[in-house]
């Protein structure tokens, strides 16, 4: 990105292996976006081509779960991908896949890890990061936590990954599982054991962001039925985690609106803990399906509704939740409607992608993606913000650090204008 030609001189500092994390299924159990095409070719293949261009002498290994065994070989047409292989294993632990795929390397080897969806990965920054990480004798170097995810990759020392497996074995499973999926955050949280730093690249041009957004049109196809709870990995499923977090603030007597409820699984989850839930979504066909699906839940109902003009009376809900919605629409009008339907003192709990440079999101369905300060500034004129939570990735949250890939805001309707 930007100065790519200049940084090709670092080819001789090749990583031992470039690891590409990929799967046919998302953490939510639906189809993984890296399987979607760009110009008729899977996004994963575009990622491989980009990495091969900048790492011509490195082995590239796709690290995939065991349930995909054999699937990806044909899917990405490995005969057209020189020096690319696939390792299959450890369904719920990308960390163990990485360790297995690098088992023949010495501890002081460096590997780069990139997600298969990252067809616009910032290779120039990865090259600079590798140079710095080797010189500084680091265990991990990564992009800022709120950098747009499709541009990022991570650098790991192989020995650090092996030590991490030993450290996680000392923890209860419920504590260790999220770090098996996103191991870098355990390394970052334990500076007494691991030496880690973040690298902040230069911001990208608007032209580059628009180019990536155009390429992403087919990849980010909206799918109402994308979530499959039976096949999901809860420790990594951010969308389900939003509802789990909301339940910490909702009360048993609350009447709750879930606006932009999608396939309704989150509304159903809330219904088990509050007095009543109304799920609302713009798509009438979706509402018909979910009404039938959850007919047995007597305190849950669904209705077709436009989030910018809701068919609900003023002050009719104790709480409103809305996850991954505000980035799709006109924020002030949406927030005004949410405020209108909330009772005085009512709670508004929302989430949105956190993006340090989100003025041109790669996802073409998003109008804008907000930095933490940006979303706080948009929401503050309508609600008092009680708590800002940054989800690092998956289900990982650090209580004292609201920076991440996703923001949750817990807000309250107050009768005075917030500062």
- Nearest CA to 264 among 290, 227, 228, 292? 290
pLDDT of res. 110: 93
**Fold adopted by 4-215:** Spore Coat Polysaccharide Biosynthesis Protein SpsA; Chain A (3.90.550)
* Bridge partners, 389 (sequence order): 408
d(CA 365, CA 327): 8
pLDDT of res. 12: 47
d(CA 322, CA 124): 37
Of 96 and 416, the one with more pLDDT: 96
Residue 227 reports pLDDT greater than 70: no
Q: What is the mean pLDDT of residues 285-299?
A: 96
Of 14 and 381, the one with more pLDDT: 381
The domain ranges of the chain are 4-215, 237-412
Average pLDDT, the chain: 92
Torsion of CA 39, 44, 49, 54, to 10 degrees: 130
Burial of 417 (0-12, 13-18, 19+ CB in 10 A): exposed
Q: How confident is the model at residue 419 (pLDDT cuts 50, 70, 90)?
A: low
SS3 letters across the chain: CCCHHHHHHHHHHCCCEEEEECCCECCCCCECHHHCEECCEEHHHHHHHHHHHHCCCCEEEEEECHHHCCHHHHHCCHHHCCCEEEEECCCCCHHHHHHHHCCCCCCCCEEEEEECCCCCCCHHHHHHHHHHHHHHCCCEEECCCCCCHHHCCEEEEHHHHHHHHHHHCCCCHHHHHHHHHCCHHHHHHCCCCCCEEECCCCCCCHHHHHHHHHHCCCCCCCCCCCCCHHHCCCCCCHHHHHHHHHCCCCCCCCEEEEECCCCCHHHHHHHCCCCEEEEEECCHHHHHHHHHHCCCCCCEEEEECECCECCCCCCCEEEEEEECCHHHCCHHHHHHHHHHHEEEEEEEEEEEEECCCCCCCCCCCCCCCECHHHHHHHHCCCCEEEEEEEECCCCCEECCECCCCEEEEEEECCCCCCC
pLDDT of res. 228: 59
Residue 373 reports pLDDT greater than 80: yes
Q: What is the mean pLDDT of residues 289-314?
A: 97
**Interacting residues of 72 by C-beta distance below 8 A, sequence separation 6+:** 22, 24, 44, 62, 64, 86
Residue 385 reports pLDDT greater than 60: yes
Q: What is the mean pLDDT of residues 384-409?
A: 97
Tokens of 288: 């018909």
Q: How confident is the model at residue 212 (pLDDT cuts 50, 70, 90)?
A: very high
- Nearest CA to 411 among 355, 334, 359? 334
- Specify the CATH superfamily of domain 237-412: Vaccinia Virus protein VP39 (3.40.50.150)
Angstrom distances, CA of residue 352 to CA of 262, 267, 286, 367: 15, 18, 22, 12
pLDDT single digits (tens) 163-209: 999 999 999 999 999 999 999 999 999 999 999 999 999 999 999 99
Q: How confident is the model at residue 416 (pLDDT cuts 50, 70, 90)?
A: low
User: Global pTM?
Assistant: 0.92
Say what percent of the chain tops pLDDT 70: 93
Residue 148 reports pLDDT greater than 70: yes
Tally of CB atoms within 10 A around 136: 10
pLDDT of res. 269: 96
Q: How confident is the model at residue 75 (pLDDT cuts 50, 70, 90)?
A: confident
* Bridge partners, 368 (sequence order): none
* Bridge partners, 374 (sequence order): none
Tally of CB atoms within 10 A around 189: 16
Tally of CB atoms within 10 A around 288: 12
Strand bridging mode 276-281 / 255-259? parallel
């Amino acid at each position: 990105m930007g100065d790519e030609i200049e940084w090709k001189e670092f080819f001789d500092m090749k990583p031992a292996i470039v690891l590409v994390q990929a799967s046919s299924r998302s953490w939510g159990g639906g189809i993984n976006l890296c399987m979607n095409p760009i110009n008729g070719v899977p996004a994963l293949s575009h990622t491989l081509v980009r990495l091969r261009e900048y790492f011509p002498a490195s082995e590239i290994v796709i690290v995939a779960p065991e349930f995909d065994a054999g699937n990806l070989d044909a899917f990405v047409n490995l005969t057209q991908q020189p020096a690319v292989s696939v390792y299959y294993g450890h369904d719920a632990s990308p960390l163990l896949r990485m360790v297995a795929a690098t088992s023949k390397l010495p501890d002081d080897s460096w590997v780069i890890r990139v997600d298969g969806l990252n067809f616009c990965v910032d290779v120039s920054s990865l090259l600079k990061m590798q140079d710095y990480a080797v010189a500084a004798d680091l265990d991990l170097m990564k992009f800022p936590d709120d950098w747009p995810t499709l541009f990022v990759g991570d650098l790991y020392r192989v020995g650090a990954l092996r030590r991490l497996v030993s450290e996680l074995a000392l923890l209860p499973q419920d504590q260790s599982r999220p770090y098996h999926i996103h191991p870098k955050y355990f390394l970052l949280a334990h500076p007494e054991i691991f030496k880690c730093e973040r690298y902040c690249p230069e911001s990208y041009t608007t032209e580059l962001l628009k180019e990536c957004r155009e390429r992403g049109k087919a990849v980010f196809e909206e799918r109402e039925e994308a979530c499959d709870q039976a096949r999901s990995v809860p420790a990594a499923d951010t969308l389900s985690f939003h509802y789990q977090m909301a339940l910490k603030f909702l009360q048993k007597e609350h009447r709750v609106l879930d606006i932009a409820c999608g396939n309704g699984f989150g509304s159903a989850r809330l219904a088990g803990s509050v007095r009543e839930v109304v799920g609302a979504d713009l798509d009438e066909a979706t509402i018909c399906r979910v009404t039938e699906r959850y007919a047995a839940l007597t305190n849950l109902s669904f209705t077709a509704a436009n989030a910018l003009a809701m068919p609900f009376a003023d002050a009719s809900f104790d709480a409103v939740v809305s996850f991954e919605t505000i980035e799709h629409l006109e924020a002030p009008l949406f927030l005004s409607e949410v405020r209108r339907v909330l009772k005085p003192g009512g709670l508004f709990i929302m989430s949105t992608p956190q993006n340090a440079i989100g003025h041109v999101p790669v996802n073409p369905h998003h109008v804008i993606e907000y930095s933490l300060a940006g979303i706080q500034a948009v929401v503050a004129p309508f609600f008092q913000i009680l708590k800002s939570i940054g989800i690092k990735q998956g289900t990982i949250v650090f209580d004292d650090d609201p920076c991440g890939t996703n923001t949750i805001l817990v807000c309250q309707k107050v009768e005075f204008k917030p500062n």
